[in-house]
Amino acid sequence: MVKRALAIITLLLIGFWLAKGLVGVPFGEDKMLVGEYYLENVKEQTGAVNAVTAVVVNYRGFDTLGEVTVLFIASTGVGALLWRRKKERSAKSEGSVVLTAGAKMLLPFIMLFGAYIFVHGHLTPGGGFPGGATVATAFLMLYLAFKEYEIDHKVFEPLEGLAGVGYVTVGLIGLAIGGYFLFDWIWQTWQFGHENIGRLFSAGFIPIIYTLIGIKVGTELTGIVDNMIKEEPKGGGQ
């Protein structure tokens, strides 16, 4: 009881302190210093209509590379933590016909929609991470609906690595051509797609990087699900 009261009082104090700090920041006013620059130059410099993706992939590309690395480490970490020699699905019963038939029917649509999200990263909200997560839900659905389902590890893990390597390669080509890592060579040097900003084939390397990130995130999250859903076979002692 005393513990709980103390916790509530502490939280109230922290909340009060934060609110006091935020009083000086009024809503709805122009506070942008760097933001102004992004919004004014995003179309000429990157070709993307979606300013967020331009910032995330182009202006602040290193952050995205870091995020992809974090996901990769998470996936590897889960794999390492749950590593066992023999792994089996522990599902006891198959779903009813309604569940399995529904999962079969929805699978291609979810995957297509995930691909739609990451291909249109430079035009619509979304990008590689939401698109990849959507693709991963398609596989999660298969895992939940079917007792026997298992992804093809010979395809999935190499694909995950290749997508990551592809991202870094695109950045390294930029280093060779433009002088710094993640330089947008397709837009700046080739001038590809300059005449149709706002259509699909524009925005330099953003769609390419987002496709790679989408594949990477999709396979990674699926791998995490795959690792977590498996148990040691019965009889194998621990």
Residues that bind other proteins (CB under 8 A): 96-98, 100-102, 104-105, 107-109, 111-113, 115-116, 119, 142, 196, 199-201
Which one, 55 or 163, has the nearer CB to other proteins? 163
- Nearest approach in angstroms of CB 204 to other proteins is 15
Which one, 119 or 224, has the nearer CB to other proteins? 119
Which one, 174 or 207, has the nearer CB to other proteins? 207
Which one, 109 or 181, has the nearer CB to other proteins? 109
Distances in Å between the Cα of 97 and the Cα atoms of 101, 105, 145, 146, 233 are 6, 12, 10, 11, 27
Q: Which two tokens stand for residue 25?
A: 């920041």
- Nearest approach in angstroms of CB 143 to other proteins is 13
- Nearest approach in angstroms of CB 103 to other proteins is 8
Contacts with 113 (C-beta within 8 Å, 6 or more apart), sequence order: 134
Q: Which two tokens stand for residue 152?
A: 């093809």
- Nearest approach in angstroms of CB 4 to other proteins is 42
Looking at beta carbons, which pairs linking 173-180 to residues 24 or more positions away fall under 8 Å? 174/205
Helix axis angle for 206-228 and 153-178, nearest 10°, is 150
Dihedral sign computed on CA atoms, order 146, 152, 153, 155: negative
Which one, 114 or 174, has the nearer CB to other proteins? 114
- Nearest approach in angstroms of CB 150 to other proteins is 14
DSSP 41-66: HHHHHH--S-HHHIIIIIITHHHHHH
Which one, 153 or 199, has the nearer CB to other proteins? 199
**231 burial class (0-12, 13-18, 19+ CB within 10 angstroms)?**
middle
Tokens 């700046």 map to which residue?
Answer: 188
DSSP 20-43: HHHTTS-TTS---SHHHHHHHHHH
- Nearest approach in angstroms of CB 30 to other proteins is 34
Which one, 76 or 100, has the nearer CB to other proteins? 100
- Nearest approach in angstroms of CB 190 to other proteins is 17
